[in-house]
Amino acid sequence: MTTTVHDPVCHMDIDPATAAGTSEYKGQTYYFCSLGCKKAFDENPEKYLGKEHEQR
């Protein structure tokens, strides 16, 4: 069974091996389904992480 990760922008579950892109933020790697989601995240990560990021 493939392990999936959560795209913080569009909330899709994706396979990290086939992710369209990744970003590092505060020591954590985030995976994206498309370059558009990656770009949006890179411009304002806190907008997409919010309370989810604070709990880690």
Q: How far is residue 6 from each of residues 2, 9, 37, 55, measured CA to CA in Å? A: 13, 9, 12, 16
2-53: pLDDT as tens digits? 799 999 999 999 999 999 999 999 999 999 999 999 999 999 999 999 865 5
Domain boundaries, the chain: 5-45
What's the pLDDT score for residue 52?
56
Q: E strand or H helix at 11, and its extent?
A: none
53 in Cβ contact with 21 (< 8 Å): no
What's the pLDDT score for residue 31?
98
pLDDT level of residue 55 (50, 70, 90 thresholds): very low
What's the pLDDT score for residue 1?
61
8 in Cβ contact with 52 (< 8 Å): yes
- According to DSSP, the residues that pair with 54 across neighbouring strands are none
What's the pLDDT score for residue 53?
52
